[in-house]
């Protein structure tokens, strides 16, 4: 695919923001490529050019982690994700943990209290029932830890060679508290940008076991449910503007989506972004940028500046937020763009990645 | 698998109901077989022995088409299904139609008014984007026809050889009206058993195109949304006892599940079950029993006898119920068992099938 190799389409380009222009269209592939599932520009094109026109409705058009709507007098959040991570088990978790925490977190990113989950398995003929049982037990344990009930499910089986052991799709329903309105469009210049902990662990953990790499220290996935942390933040103020869990595409993709949805800019301070030393070393070795590596137990928050200090303190007091850090701010300059102020006094653009550096990371 | 070949495990056995005993355990397979996804005895074992213990909660234990619970003061139904039908397009519909109608119907079987759907795609690398677009447009059209909103979604991509073009998982949320309590446990001796139309069309339609068979007349899938029909039935009485859409495993599996869940028996009148002539002919040719062939736009209802006539009239007046027929009754005899009174004055047991006669039918 020639388009994939054009210089303008590399995930990061050191350009002057003032002279930056949108890369050439990338959507001339006639077939699905791995990047269409990567949470980057190709995923966004698939949504904007295929799904949104086909479904044609304003709820989907919001393109948030979860849909929020009123039903029977209740304000609900509703979300779904398929999980195709390879391998099924990795340091710190399994596909089962991701399938619960990923959907719980998507609901929490609307400020919702997650309540009920569904699980739908697509099993490959010949996979050991013991493996299915281990995944199911991981789902049960993760659901109890996240205080959600698995309420309904389905199982299909496909012939050997048409699956990869176990795929799981979860959907979730949660209740959005009164007065909470958290969505990417609400980012405002001046907002503090806060990340809940060190980034890059999940992606590097999966990559290390997939490729048989060892980095001296075992790096474990950060997979965790974040609804409790969000509830603690909402106790400080209901006026959180944006929450996002930077999974596929990492922090870089999430911040780009927020900047584009809100028409604001994001200015990060390079040295403020918490990257564990072992993650930085592994990324250096693998040629990855930690800003684009998937996380499964972290969130990024856009918080009105007057509440930033108190929200950060509340996060530090919660087990899932001990490593929280102020990493930058929302700005009126360079709308739709994420820029990093480097330690050397320069800046670089953090563009929306094309696809995922690490396919099938979740 | 020796267990799969034991005579006691064939889907139908001409035995005296009074002397019938449960077949030997079937669950000694160490690996997943196609039948685990067939909606029959192996599917039930997977739920009872793997998922229910792992998740351990009373909502899932109900094993209904959809879960029903209270959230934020609203009484909600929630359901999910994965769709892996092969081929993706068949006479009368596509995977996209099934993905909407199947989940809409699962919600409707709780008496709910379906409101919002999610769609999660697992795409195989290399599938044509045009195919994805056709499925998405079918989903959009089916959602509009069923008056539901596709509110949220996800897309993952797996490598070529780990999928089969397009798999879609939908989940749905609907609102259960006050005073409605429809579930398999509520079947009572005396209930009229009503089917909403002729059976077997979906399974035969898929099978014919899959195997390149022609039967003189084109048999088209019955895929259709049933929530409108259910609403018309509920206008007659809110006291419908059971609704079920006989998909995988067909009418035979659905009736067995109801009989077992309620501890009642079901007595069918063989000649009252509407089987279109072309379906009967095709089933004869293929060696299939129409009672076990999947339907995607039919329901079976257990209705208190005093309301049966009026409910049947309401069904006949609705486009999805013109072919509705009274096919039998719920009885106190042979609890947990479905028996057919044949035209010749004999009876035969309709057992829960082991798996699906036609794998990947939905």
Contact yes or no for A80 and B152 at CB 8 A: yes
Contact yes or no for A153 and B51 at CB 8 A: yes
Q: Which residues of B touch A164 (CB under 8 A)?
A: 158, 162
Q: Which of residues 196-215 of B touch A (CB under 8 A)?
A: none
Nearest of A63, A66, A70 to residue A49 by alpha carbon: A63
Nearest by CB to B116, which of A69, A119, A122?
A: A69
What integer pLDDT is reported at residue A86 of this predicted model? 95
**pLDDT tens across B83-109, in order?**
999 999 999 999 999 999 999 999 999
SS3 for B69-89 is EEECCEEEEEEEEEECCCCCE
Angle at CA of residue A251, ends A245 and A254, nearest 5°: 65
Residue ranges of chain B whose pLDDT lies below 50: 1-15, 17, 20-26
What residue has token string 């019955």?
B222
Q: Which residues of B touch A64 (CB under 8 A)?
A: 152
What integer pLDDT is reported at residue B28 of this predicted model? 65
Q: Which of residues 47-66 of B touch A (CB under 8 A)?
A: 47, 50-51, 54-57, 59-60, 64, 66
Q: Which CATH class is domain A184-350?
A: alpha beta
Structural tokens at position B140: 């959009």
Number of helices (H) and strands (E), helices first, in chain A?
11, 15
What integer pLDDT is reported at residue A354 of this predicted model? 81
* CATH superfamily of domain region B62-175: PurM-like, N-terminal domain (3.30.1330.10)
Q: Which residues of B touch A102 (CB under 8 A)?
A: none
Q: How far apart are CA B295 and CA B291, in angstroms?
A: 10
The segment(s) of chain A belonging to CATH 3.90.650.10 are: 184-350
Q: Which of residues 313-352 of A touch B (CB under 8 A)?
A: none
The segment(s) of chain A belonging to CATH 3.30.1330.10 are: 68-175
Query: What interhelical angle do B277-286 and B201-211 show, nearest 10?
Result: 50
Q: Is A139 on the interface with B (CB under 8 A)?
A: yes
Q: How far apart are CA B119 and CA B123, in angstroms?
A: 12
Q: How far apart are CA A328 and CA A274, in angstroms?
A: 12
CA gyration radius, chain B: 20
Domain A68-175, CATH number (from 2.40.160.40, 3.20.20.140, 3.40.630.30, 3.30.1330.10): 3.30.1330.10
Structural contact between residues B122 and B167, judged by C-beta atoms closer than 8 angstroms: yes
Contact yes or no for A36 and B157 at CB 8 A: yes
Q: Are strands B265-269 and B166-175 parallel, antiparallel or unpaired?
A: unpaired
Nearest by CB to A82, which of B137, B169, B360?
A: B169
Contacts of A142 (CB under 8 A, 6+ apart): A96, A97, A99, A100, A101, A225
The segment(s) of chain B belonging to CATH 3.30.1330.10 are: 62-175
**pLDDT tens across A71-81, in order?**
999 999 999 99
Q: How far apart are CA B64 and CA B77, in angstroms?
A: 11
Average the pLDDT over each of A48-57, A322-331, B9-18, B114-123 and give the range with the smallest value.
B9-18
Structural contact between residues B191 and B346, judged by C-beta atoms closer than 8 angstroms: no
Q: Which residues of A touch B103 (CB under 8 A)?
A: none
Contact yes or no for A169 and B164 at CB 8 A: no
What integer pLDDT is reported at residue A180 of this predicted model? 98
Q: How far apart are CA A272 and CA A276, in angstroms?
A: 12
Nearest of A281, A245, A265 to residue A340 by alpha carbon: A265
Q: Which residues of B touch A80 (CB under 8 A)?
A: 118-120, 152-154, 169, 171
Peptide bond into A172 cis (omega under 30): no
Look at residue A51 and tell me whether its pLDDT is greater than 60: yes
| Entry field: residues in chain B | 362
Look at residue A330 and tell me whether its pLDDT is greater than 50: yes
Q: Is the dihedral of CA A56, A31, B123, A162 positive or negative?
A: positive
Average the pLDDT over each of A7-21, A203-217, A243-257 and give the range with the smallest value.
A7-21
Q: Are strands B265-269 and B338-341 parallel, antiparallel or unpaired?
A: parallel
| B67 DSSP β-pair partners | B78
Nearest by CB to A54, which of B78, B136, B149?
A: B136
Q: Which of residues 234-293 of A touch B (CB under 8 A)?
A: none
Q: Which residues of B touch A123 (CB under 8 A)?
A: 32, 36-37
């Amino acid at each position: 695919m020639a388009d994939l190799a054009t210089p303008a389409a590399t995930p990061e380009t050191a350009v002057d923001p003032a002279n930056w222009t949108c890369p050439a269209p990338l959507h001339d592939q006639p077939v699905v490529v791995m990047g269409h599932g990567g949470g980057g520009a190709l995923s966004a094109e698939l949504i904007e050019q295929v799904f949104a026109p086909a479904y044609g409705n304003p709820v989907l058009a919001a393109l948030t982690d979860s849909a929020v709507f009123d039903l029977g007098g209740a304000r609900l959040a509703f979300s779904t994700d398929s999980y195709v991570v390879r391998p099924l088990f990795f340091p710190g978790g399994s596909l089962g943990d991701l399938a619960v925490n990923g959907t719980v977190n998507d609901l929490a990113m609307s400020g919702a209290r997650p309540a009920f989950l569904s699980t739908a398995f697509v099993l490959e003929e010949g996979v050991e029932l013991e493996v299915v049982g281990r995944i199911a037990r991981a789902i049960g344990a993760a659901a109890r830890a996240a205080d959600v009930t698995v309420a309904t499910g389905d199982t299909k089986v496909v012939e050997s060679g048409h699956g990869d052991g176990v795929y799981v799709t979860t959907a979730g329903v949660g209740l959005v508290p009164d007065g909470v309105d958290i969505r990417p469009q609400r980012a405002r210049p001046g907002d503090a940008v806060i990340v809940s902990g060190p980034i890059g662990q999940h992606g590097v953990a999966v990559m290390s076991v997939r490729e048989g790499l060892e980095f001296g220290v075992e790096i474990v996935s950060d997979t965790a449910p974040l609804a409790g942390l969000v509830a603690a933040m909402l106790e400080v103020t209901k006026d959180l503007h944006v929450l996002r869990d930077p999974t596929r595409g990492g922090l870089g993709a999430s911040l780009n989506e927020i900047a584009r949805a809100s028409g604001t800019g994001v200015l990060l301070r390079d040295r403020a972004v918490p990257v564990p030393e072992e993650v930085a070393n592994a990324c250096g070795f693998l040629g990855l940028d930690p800003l684009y590596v998937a996380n499964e137990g972290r969130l990024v928050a856009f918080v009105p500046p007057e509440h930033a200090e108190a929200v950060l303190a509340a996060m530090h007091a919660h087990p899932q937020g001990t490593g929280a850090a102020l990493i930058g701010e929302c700005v009126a300059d360079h709308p739709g763009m994420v820029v990093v102020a480097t330690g050397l006094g320069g800046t670089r653009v953090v563009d929306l990645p094309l696809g995922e550096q690490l396919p099938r990371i979740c």
